[in-house]
Structure 1
């Protein structure tokens, strides 16, 4: 299965999320308003941002399927990362609005008690979103899609948010009227935290950041390839759901061109088999005894 087919399969997960959020957000906002639950209303607004985030992921996946052209020789895979970045801004805006509204409600000391229907809606929503999370998580791992994996994590956070809303509603029903508003505050914090996580990972990828531990693992794998004397330099960057690796290896200066090419092929095979990396650019240099290798950057 090539990268484009994997991305196409990833669209199914985005559509499942969008459908679930459309139903749940409408239900939570209506029930939260009718049965006086600040926590359920906050959870409903949270799901509205999730619709936008899932749509952004879907659009990014669609653009990523465009083949390489003269302006994009590496393809359009980073479109999904840009879409996730846009979604993080939207989520942060709504999260702050929910947080401000909930804090205001908490300090105003409302005596309204949410209805029991709001509690059962929150419980059902938590179960539903956990099922969606499990589906998207398995699909993302199977096709190795980072955008869908981020969406799955958002699904899990939504399940936790709904669980918190249910606890707040139940507490308010037991006489702790402030607990419903307190749960709404927690919901706002979780929305902002999720937005920050998506923003950080997206900007890290877009600025060619790469995990140092993973880079060391790649270096160790290449060093074990027979014929590689040392590594002069190695770099890696994220391109959508793909990893691009550039490495300079030193080999025996007496080695023939055919033998050097065999080493390059072996490095590429090992990167794909062990690390699922298909884009590796290998540059071969003659090994010199007095040459100091450069550490991975």
Structure 2
């Protein structure tokens, strides 16, 4: 099945992120301590949370590939969403720790000017993360992976954080050491903001929230299917990279079962052209010229 093939391909992006974050976090923490930069150390801690998040995505992708079983009729596709939810809590803890350390350094400032090397390390890290961002974004579009796309945007935010870190370090070098500590404080807030975004998206998915614009697009496509008279109801939910759509339509009541079934196949093909990883359940009802409420009122009048 193409869906599971895409999940396996998505593991490449997760491994690239993990390897890059391992290298950058170690480099930033070591140089940050040696060069005396609170901002670079905070950036390094930010990358350690990204390691955890990437590992969570990798584990989720692996579990998601398990086929449906007796207890999971829809498969295990939501495993990556649960893993992302756990990772968001871990990121919050690290972000709070960075903020506490930054506040303590503001209250009891350390009069140490960071080394120029720390700024260059931050800029180098930004360049590397941008390359990883472009790679993961291209891969996510190729395999249509929402999880990998989210990871790519996280890569991009990390590149921007590293640019901000370099700016703060240069400001400290030119006589404004408090800027370095303030930058670390901002990075801590950005870590928490990223964690909240991941948490919110995961919570929305787990509670079956669905994009209203996508529903409207699908509704328009279904109404244009030959044989469909009216669209009574449409619902959608996501399981990892898969989408499940439930549709109720009315058709000519004089059609036989075979003819009605052809209409359901047309609806399924139409939706799957829009989203290849979509599973569609179509319910056919006979079209009534009068609505049920009107029929009841007419009977009472008689």
Bin of the TM-score, shorter chain as denominator length: over 0.9
Q: Which runs of 5+ in 2 are unaligned?
A: 294-302
Residue 41 of structure 1 corresponds to 41
Instruction: Kindly indicate whether residue 101 of structure 2 is the aligned counterpart of residue 109 of structure 1.
Output: no
- TM-aligned CA deviation for residue 153 of structure 1: 1.2
Distance 1:290 1:111 in 2: 82
Residue 75 of structure 1 corresponds to 75
Residue 173 of structure 2 corresponds to 173
- TM-aligned CA deviation for residue 226 of structure 1: 1.0
- TM-aligned CA deviation for residue 103 of structure 1: 2.4
Residue 185 of structure 2 corresponds to 185
Q: Which runs of 5+ in 1 are unaligned?
A: none
TM-score, scaled to structure 2: 0.94
Residue 22 of structure 1 corresponds to 22
TM-score, scaled to structure 1: 0.96
248-257 or 33-42, which deviates more? 248-257
Say if 1:55 and 1:292 are closer, same or farther in 2 by CA, change over 3 A.
farther
Matches within 5 A, 1:152-167: 152-167=152-167
Distance 1:80 1:234 in 2: 26
Matched residues, number = 293
63-72 or 105-114, which deviates more? 105-114
Residue 262 of structure 1 corresponds to 262
20-29 or 91-100, which deviates more? 91-100
- Residues 96 and 192, structure 1, Cα contact 8 Å, conserved in 2: yes
32-41 or 101-110, which deviates more? 101-110
Matches within 5 A, 1:115-154: 115-154=115-154
- TM-aligned CA deviation for residue 146 of structure 1: 1.4
Distance 1:72 1:89 in 2: 26
- TM-aligned CA deviation for residue 152 of structure 1: 0.9
Secondary structure at the counterpart of residue 59 of structure 2: helix
Residue 54 of structure 2 corresponds to 54
- TM-aligned CA deviation for residue 109 of structure 1: 3.4
Distance 2:254 2:135 in 1: 54
- TM-aligned CA deviation for residue 277 of structure 1: 4.3
- Residues 3 and 277, structure 2, Cα contact 8 Å, conserved in 1: no
Residue 208 of structure 2 corresponds to 208
- Residues 4 and 65, structure 1, Cα contact 8 Å, conserved in 2: yes
Quick check: which has more Rg, 1 or 2? 2
208-217 or 269-278, which deviates more? 269-278
- Residues 241 and 277, structure 2, Cα contact 8 Å, conserved in 1: no
Structure 1 residues 152-204: Cα deviation after superposition (integer angstroms, max 9, x where no partner): 11111110111110000011011111111111111111111110010000010
Structure 1 residues 258-289: Cα deviation after superposition (integer angstroms, max 9, x where no partner): 22111111111111112334300000000112
- Residues 88 and 199, structure 2, Cα contact 8 Å, conserved in 1: yes
Distance 1:212 1:191 in 2: 29
- TM-aligned CA deviation for residue 126 of structure 1: 0.2
- TM-aligned CA deviation for residue 2 of structure 1: 0.7
Secondary structure at the counterpart of residue 281 of structure 1: strand
Say if 1:292 and 1:247 are closer, same or farther in 2 by CA, change over 3 A.
farther
Distance 2:233 2:131 in 1: 44
Distance 1:135 1:209 in 2: 29
- Residues 32 and 41, structure 2, Cα contact 8 Å, conserved in 1: yes
Distance 2:24 2:199 in 1: 25
Secondary structure at the counterpart of residue 5 of structure 1: helix
